[in-house]
Amino acid sequence: RQMGNKFIKKSDNQKAIPLLKKVVRLNPDDADSKYQLGSALLAKGSYDEAIALFEEAIRLDPDTHEYHFALGVAYEQKELFGKAITSLQKAAELNPDNPDVYYSLGVVFDIKEKYKEAVDSFKKAIELNPKQADYHQSLGFTYESLDQHKEAVKCYKKAMFCKKSSF
């Protein structure tokens, strides 16, 4: 598994996937191995395989928020937005301090035109990590969808400030 993880970190999924498949075959009850393989497959765009592995990891270890988060992202990629929301909300319930979960929820709510929920999710992400420019920018886009242009401009300015201060 260490070799597979090493290749994932290098974004070399072509080498990681066969190694991780072997690990999963040898350790069929290891939720984390299924998660690692699912993550590599998700990065490759093999969404159905990734979803099946994340679901299996959750069956084996239902309290690990990363598994629910990854499943939510995979569902979002497959445009199964209702399932994405359910998985991401479970991830947020299990780890309420992860801003990326709230950001991802905001993205899905925005796609579904549930703008109030998107605003709330983006604001929570910003509360947890106020220096992330993408969070402010996405909140600005959502405010534009609500015709709240002054609020949108404030968000864009904050996003620009975050980008400048990160250099």
pLDDT tens for each residue of the chain, 167 residues long: 443 344 444 456 778 899 999 999 999 999 999 999 999 999 999 999 999 999 999 999 999 999 999 999 999 999 999 999 999 999 999 999 999 999 999 999 999 999 999 999 999 999 999 999 999 999 999 999 999 999 999 999 999 999 876 54
The CATH number of 1-83 is 1.25.40.10
What are the extents of the domains in the chain? 1-83, 97-167
pTM of the predicted model, to two decimals? 0.88
| Tokens (6 digits) for 92 | 């947020």
Helix (H, G, I), strand (E, B) or coil at 150: helix
Q: Strand runs (DSSP E) across the chain, as ranges?
A: none
Regarding the domain delimited by 97-167, which CATH topology (the fold level of the hierarchy) does it fall under?
Answer: 1.25.40
Q: What's the rounded Cα separation, in Å, for the pair 58 and 142?
A: 32
The secondary structure of residue 37, as a DSSP letter, is H
Q: How many Cα atoms are found within 13 Å in the side-chain-facing hemisphere of 37?
A: 26
| Tokens (6 digits) for 123 | 């604001």
Q: Please check whether residue 69 is in contact with residue 87, taking contact to mean a CB–CB distance below 8 angstroms.
A: yes
- Are domains 1-83 and 97-167 of this chain identical in fold? yes
